[in-house]
Every structure is written in structure tokens, then in C-alpha cells.
Amino acid sequence: MLFHYTAFDSRNVYVEGDIDMSTLEDVLKFLNNQRLKPIKVVPINLKSRGSKWNIFQRKITLMEQVFLFKYLGLMLKVGTDILKAVDVLMQDYEKGPVKTFLLQSRSNLEKGSPFYITFEQNKKTFSYVTINLIKAGEKSGTLQTTLEKISITLEKDKELRGKIVAALTYPALLLVMMIVLIIFLMIFLLPKMGASFMQAGLKLPAFTKLLFNMSTYFNVHMVPVLTMLFGIPIIGYFYLSKTEIGKKQLNKFIRFFPPIRNFLNKMALQRLTSTLSSLIKAGMPLVESLKITSESVGEEVFRISLSNVATYLTQGLTVGEAFRQEKSFPKYLSNLLAIGEKAGHIEEILATMSDFYEKEIETSLKSLVALIEPAMLIIMGVAIGGIAISVILPMYQMIGSL
């Protein structure tokens, strides 16, 4: 069990550190033998961060993971062993999830456990591919290059996410502005105008009358209406993003639109080629690499296809033949893999294809945004314009009756 201690040494200098001992009494004996006067000794609970009830517990961010892998890879490159690298890096953190992870890593390494064990104990933070890459790199003696490769891959993922968020920010703002404006009109403005038109005895168009009746209802039942308007999207978000059924339904819906389907396919193929290339370079057998990649590719159609390819390979087919059996893969990818297999450089072909798909994703993203922005403007114009027309028509009738 890990303990954190603070104490004064023989020169009355304040010191602190962490130590792995069975009991508190053992820690006190150790401090006494080191001529340290303990001030405080507390156990470190490494499992607390995984509590399922602590939903607001901060996790290791993507940027922190990039730094972690890059630093450890650099330390190994200059000849430092992994235990020493972890110990040195741990001094840069006073507390937080990274500190907890490093303490857990050091504890496992001191017990003689492999480095990847700590990652397996933190599956909610680190991806399935990352865990297996470290496992393969450790077994093949290429841990240093594997860590560097992971840091580069995570950096690219972060950059891609940033581009997607930046591209979709403007359409999202348009959508929010439209919803806020419609809520304001329906609750605060239209009920008063509707009451004025009714008192004037005007014969209202059916759409205008329906709109005024809805706005009156919204105004009278403001609390339940606002609760529904904000509650339903929140519930929908958690259902579509946190449950397997919701994720499948959302994926099925958005794939009806060809531009979005094309963009998602390219993202999946980029993730597929990049992951498979990294696993093969780390020394993992091809069949096992395909199975691991299938679990991380993200799209169901490619997951099934990769599993089938792994089965074909065990039946004696070549890589090119196995990929050609699955129609979900582009023909040029299957042909390039067949050439790469003959030359003995499949991982290089995959890495090249990954770079190609990265550029294709950027192009597709620009095209997608170019479609979304005018579509949002049209929807906003129709919604606000419809409300405006429904109000202007009765006003013309009122002016004409004077």
C-alpha cells in the first residue's frame, strides 16, 4: 500500500515523499531508520479515481496524455529505465489524476509487474489500442519508439478534434441563436400581440391563430415548457452519446446523409490505417492487430469487415485477397496492401494511407461545413421569417380596417 509522508530530517529540513509499505507501522519504522521525524503519514487511495459514483472526477486530459507519452519516450531514449522515468516525472505533479496514475505505475513496477498493467487498470482513461500498443512494445523491446508513436498519434487526434470543433462552432451558434430567439418570441412577444389582435376582432389566418395559441400556452405554462425545452435536449444528449442503443440509432440516422457518411467513412479509414500500422510496427502479429483495430475503428461496418479479414487470414488467404473479400474497403486500399505484402512493407503502406486520409478528412470537413452553414441560415430564415409573416399579415388587416 502506498503512503505519502511529510517529515523533518536530521538537519531539520522539511521533506516529503511516497513509499510502498504493508502497514503504517512499517512506514514509521522506515522513517525512524532514516532518521526522519514524521509530521504526517497518510495512505494514498489509488482506486478512488475509478469510483463509478464520482462522475465529476477529473480525468487525464488528451494533452496530458500527449505530454506523458512524449516525456517517457524521451527519458527512455536517453537511457533512463522506465521506473526512474516515472519517478522523475512524478516530481512535477503535486496532485491530480496524473500524479495518481504515476504513483500507481511506480507501485506496479516496484512489484515487478509490466508497465502496461497500470494502463489496463485505467481502461476508462486510455484506449484499448493504446494499452495493446504499450503491451506489444514492451514485449518486443520497442517501448521507447512505441511511446513516441502514441504521443504523435494522440497529438494528431487532438489537432483533428480542434479542427472539427472550430468548423462546427459557427453553425452551432446559429442554431442556438435561432432557438433562443424563437423561445423569446413565443413566450414574451407573441402572446401580447395575439391578445391585441383578438380584441380587435380580426379574422386570423389558420397558421397565425395556431402560432398565437401555442405562444399563449407557452406563456401560461412557462416553467414546464422551459423545463421540457432544456430537459429533453439534455436527456437526448446522454441517451445518444452514453448508451450503446442511442449511439447506434444516431449513427444510423446521420449516415443517411451522403456528405456526412463520406466524412465518417474517411475518419474511420484513417483511424483504421493509422492504428493497424502502429500495431504492426510495435511487433504485434497481423491477425491480432486486425482484431484489436476492429474494436477501435468506431464504425460498425468496418469493425465487422476487419473481423472477417482476420478470419480469412487464418484460412490461408493473403492480405490483399482477404481485404478484397470485403466490399466496404476501397479497391485501391486492397490493391496497395497486396503490393505492400509482396514487398514486406505493409505497415509503411498503411502509414502512407493514414496520411492520405488525414488530408482527405480536412477537404471533406471544409465541404461539409460549406453545406451546413447555408443550410442553417435557410432553416433560420424560414423559422424566423414564418413567425414574422404570421404577425405582419394581421397587422396589415388591422391597418386596413381603420
| Percent of the chain clearing pLDDT 90 (strictly above) | 5
DSSP 94: S
Lowest mean pLDDT among 181-185, 286-290, 307-311: 181-185
CA angle 93, 96, 101 (to 5 degrees): 80
The pLDDT of 300-327, averaged and rounded, is 89
For residues 388 and 380, the answer to whether their CB atoms sit within 8 Å is: no
For residues 341 and 325, the answer to whether their CB atoms sit within 8 Å is: no
Q: Which residue has the cell 478528412?
A: 361
The pLDDT of 242-266, averaged and rounded, is 85
Q: Which residue has the higher pLDDT, 298 or 354?
A: 354
Report DSSP letters for 163-216, one per residue: HHHHHHHHHHHHHHHHHHHHHHIIIIIHHHHHHHHHHTT----HHHHHHHHHHH
Q: Which three cell numbers stand for residue 328?
A: 466496404
pLDDT at 401: 60
pLDDT at 51: 43
| Percent of the chain clearing pLDDT 70 (strictly above) | 93
pLDDT at 45: 59
pLDDT at 397: 67
pTM of the model: 0.71
Q: Which CATH architecture has domain 150-402?
A: Up-down Bundle (1.20)
The pLDDT of 63-87, averaged and rounded, is 88
| pLDDT band at residue 53 under the 50/70/90 scheme | very low
pLDDT at 308: 92
Has residue 402 got a pLDDT over 80? no
Tell me the chain's radius of gyration from C-alpha atoms: 30
Model confidence pLDDT, tens digit, residues 181-229: 888 887 777 777 777 777 766 677 777 788 888 888 887 787 888 888 8
Model confidence pLDDT, tens digit, residues 15-52: 777 776 777 777 788 878 878 887 777 776 554 444 44
Domains of the chain by residue range: 2-44, 150-402
pLDDT at 102: 87
CA distance 252 to 269: 18
pLDDT at 398: 67
Q: Which residues contact 23 (CB under 8 A, 6 or more apart)?
A: 1
Model confidence pLDDT, tens digit, residues 139-163: 888 888 889 888 988 888 888 888 8
Helices of type H across 114-142? 116-120, 128-140
Question: Which of 169, 174, 165 has its CA nearest to residue 374?
Answer: 174
| pLDDT band at residue 58 under the 50/70/90 scheme | low
Q: Which residues contact 63 (CB under 8 A, 6 or more apart)?
A: 158
pLDDT at 52: 42
